[in-house]
Amino acid sequence: MELKRLAVPAVTALLVLTTGCTGATVQGRPGASGLRDPFFPRAGNGGYQVEHYALDLAYDPADGRLRGTAVITARAEQGLSSFNLDFSGLKVEGVDVQGARARYNRTGSELTVRPARDLKKGEVFRTTVDYAGRPKPVVDPDGSEEGWITTGDAAVGVGEPVGSMGWFPGNHHPSDKATYDVTVTVPDGYEAVSNGELRSRRAVGEGRTEFAWHSPEPMAGYLATVAVGKFKVSTGRTPSGVAVYNAVAPGEAAGSAAALARLPEIVEWGSARFGPYPFGSAGSIVMPAQTLGYALETQTKPVYSGAPDEELVLHEVAHQWFGNSVSPASWKDMWLNEGFATYAEWLWSEDRGGVSAQRRFEAFLAGDTGVDRGAGEDWGAFPPAAPPDAAHISDAPVYYRGAMVLHRIRQEVGDGAFFALLRGWAADHRHGNASTADFTAYAQRLTGHDLKKVWDVWLYGAGRPKG
Ligand code: TRP
Ligand code: ZN
């Protein structure tokens, strides 16, 4: 499903035609203020797609102030008289489009930009937003915090689901993926870490160091991160040559060592199970304990709140295939992220001679979740492909019943077809977006099995399935 298409009202063909004949300037119309996501209707914006974000940030842990310049290169999908960016908090100091001063105004988390001249359909245009202030957390509907989070002198920007707008302006919906360059200047003695690969690290004078990070693969905004702290950094490579960059809060170094030591092996295992690792590097950002109430699979370098265990590292690395490379078409499709990452935990355990996925499936069915991290949570409360509302997209059914959906498919089609399905799904939608309907259609086509009952009972059915 392409949400963007739904969001564009069918109007101005006539306008374009008439102005085309007279040679007058092309008439644009405002881009939509949201992409009509079923759970976050205002997330993202219509009328354009971003190709690249160049974020130039300066952060000072001493006063918590962030100064940013976001240069957003996008392609207009319609004639545009104005368009929106998602941005909340922080002061906007100026907006340029194609080098010309643009007018703008703000309502809630919508920043509306009116360029000096209309943009033509198909035009690639550059928007520069200068901003500054003390960024704050964004509280999401389930009460968890994203956005910009600080602990002591460390800080981290995280986005899932709608926190990215708290630290940079953008088209913040997972359906609009773009490449990124993130440059961060911090006081000497601090490390600044972001997604992708470190291009340069240099002293820029006045006691500051600049870190330039580059992400050549497309990334959904909610997977972007920046972390600033006095991290211990270690680098290495996986056996097949994927670069690894771990940044760890000093107090968490000892506790993280064992799990992070397994990262190369986990990346290799994932590549064998799911197909080639989708990114140019892997790594971790370990924040002080209690920085966040969760870990997040930020692209190439998941963020952990305190020392992770091996299973959590496995989960976040599995998201690099499922969630990050193959991203959800909407926030209703979260089980495509969490069900898959959870099932990856089950497979990792099984492949290493631990508890089998079948045994875990049976234990969940019998109401004994003691074998899992989801111990005590109600996995059956709602169908994973239809969470009741935005406050439940990260609840137990999305994770555990989502994993059980995959196991039910495996029971139906057998191991050969099932593992081909996992690899095929990752390959087919690599660096793209996919919906639940895309998955069910793909699974049936690839395996040649009629899986309607699995979808009806496990994916969409009300009530707790019995088997
Ligand atoms: N996606 C994360 C994971 O499973 C968890 C997560 C991130 C989360 N942000 C959240 C859970 C906000 C609840 C609320 O690895
Ligand atoms: Zn997850």
The residue to which tokens 């799904």 are assigned: 425
3-class state of residue 398 by DSSP: helix
CA nearest ligand 1 atom 15, residue: 296
Mean pLDDT, to the nearest integer, of 56-84?
98
Q: What per-residue confidence (pLDDT) applies to 377?
A: 74
Mean pLDDT, to the nearest integer, of 243-264?
98
Mutational test site, ligand 1, from 294, 309, 393, max ligand atoms within 8 Å of CB = 294
CA nearest ligand 1 atom 2, residue: 296
Q: What is the mean pLDDT of the chain?
A: 94
pLDDT band at 368 (very low <50, low <70, confident <90, very high): confident
Q: Ligand 1: which atom is nearest the Cα of residue 341?
A: 4
Give pLDDT tens digits for 309-334.
Answer: 999 999 999 999 999 999 999 999 99
As a whole number of angstroms, the distance between CA 48 and CA 46 comes to: 6
CA nearest ligand 1 atom 7, residue: 296
Q: What per-residue confidence (pLDDT) applies to 367?
A: 84
296 C-alpha to ligand 2 centroid (Å): 7
Q: How far is CA 78 from its chain centroid?
A: 26
Residue 140, C-beta contacts closer than 8 angstroms, at least 6 positions apart: 146, 161, 162, 163, 390
Q: What per-residue confidence (pLDDT) applies to 23?
A: 42
Q: Which of 268, 450, 255, 256 is nearest to 246 (CA)?
A: 256
303 C-alpha to ligand 2 centroid (Å): 12
CA nearest ligand 1 atom 14, residue: 144
Domain range list for the chain? 1-224, 327-459
User: Would you say residue 20 has pLDDT above 70?
Assistant: no
Give pLDDT tens digits for 130-153.
Answer: 999 999 999 999 999 999 999 999
Residues with a CB atom less than 6 Å from ligand 1: 142, 144, 160, 294-297, 315-316, 338, 394
**In 326-464, where does DSSP find H-type helix?**
335-351, 357-365, 396, 402-428, 436-447, 452-454
Mean pLDDT, to the nearest integer, of 16-25?
43
Q: What percent of the chain has pLDDT over 70?
A: 93
315 C-alpha to ligand 2 centroid (Å): 6
Q: Ligand 1: which atom is nearest the Cα of residue 160?
A: 9
Q: Ligand 1: which atom is nearest the Cα of residue 315?
A: 15
The CATH classification number of 327-459 equals 1.10.390.10
Mean pLDDT, to the nearest integer, of 81-107?
98
User: Would you say residue 415 has pLDDT above 90?
Assistant: yes
Q: What per-residue confidence (pLDDT) applies to 6?
A: 39
Fold of 1-224: Immunoglobulin-like (2.60.40)
144 C-alpha to ligand 1 centroid (Å): 9
Mean pLDDT, to the nearest integer, of 292-317?
98
394 C-alpha to ligand 2 centroid (Å): 8
Q: What per-residue confidence (pLDDT) applies to 375?
A: 56
In this structure, what are the phi and psi dihedrals at residue 342, rounded to the nearest 5 degrees?
A: -70, -40
Give pLDDT tens digits for 32-50.
Answer: 999 999 999 999 999 999 9
396 C-alpha to ligand 2 centroid (Å): 11
Ligand having the closest approach to the CA of 163: 1
User: Would you say residue 187 has pLDDT above 90?
Assistant: yes
Q: What per-residue confidence (pLDDT) applies to 374?
A: 61
